[in-house]
Amino acid sequence: MGKPKELHRFYKSKAWLIARNLKTNATQGKCERCGAIGEEVHHKIRLTVDNVNDVNISLNQDNLELLCKDCHNEEHGRFKKKEVLFDDDGNFIG
Ligand SMILES: [Zn+2]
Ligand SMILES: [Zn+2]
């Protein structure tokens, strides 16, 4: 089992920035669900400390989805239930 620190490190990594940019370019910066301005890149298979080092999950374009805030919130059911979306340093990890 890894530590939440590894998630933090991942979201600060150059590899993630590149994967994010690729996804944003591929979708012209639009939410893949509603076409609004995409602001957050979502992992379809949720990123956890156990799979963060698996590039087939963490960096796979097919596992990423550019979403606007509303669709991302809805995806995580953030308005219905409390889900932990921040690591212990307060960084968004949704
Ligand atoms: Zn949307
Ligand atoms: Zn997400």
Ligand nearest the Cα atom of residue 32? 1
Residue 1 has pLDDT above 90, yes or no: no
Report pLDDT for 80. Answer: 55
Report pLDDT for 37. Answer: 97
Question: What is the Å distance from ligand 1's center to 91 Cα?
Answer: 22
Question: What is the Å distance from ligand 2's center to 43 Cα?
Answer: 5
Ligand nearest the Cα atom of residue 63? 2
Spell out where the chain has E strands.
40-43, 64-67
Cα(41)–Cα(57) distance, rounded to whole angstroms? 13
Q: Residue 77: which region, alpha, beta or left (left: phi > 0; alpha: psi -120 to 50)?
A: left
Ligand nearest the Cα atom of residue 71? 1
- Averaged over 14-28, what is the pLDDT? 97
Cα(32)–Cα(34) distance, rounded to whole angstroms? 6
Cα(48)–Cα(57) distance, rounded to whole angstroms? 10
Residue 58 has pLDDT above 80, yes or no: yes
Residue 57 has pLDDT above 80, yes or no: yes
Cα(81)–Cα(47) distance, rounded to whole angstroms? 19
Banded pLDDT at 2 (limits 50, 70, 90)? low
Report pLDDT for 77. Answer: 81
Question: What is the Å distance from ligand 2's center to 75 Cα?
Answer: 7
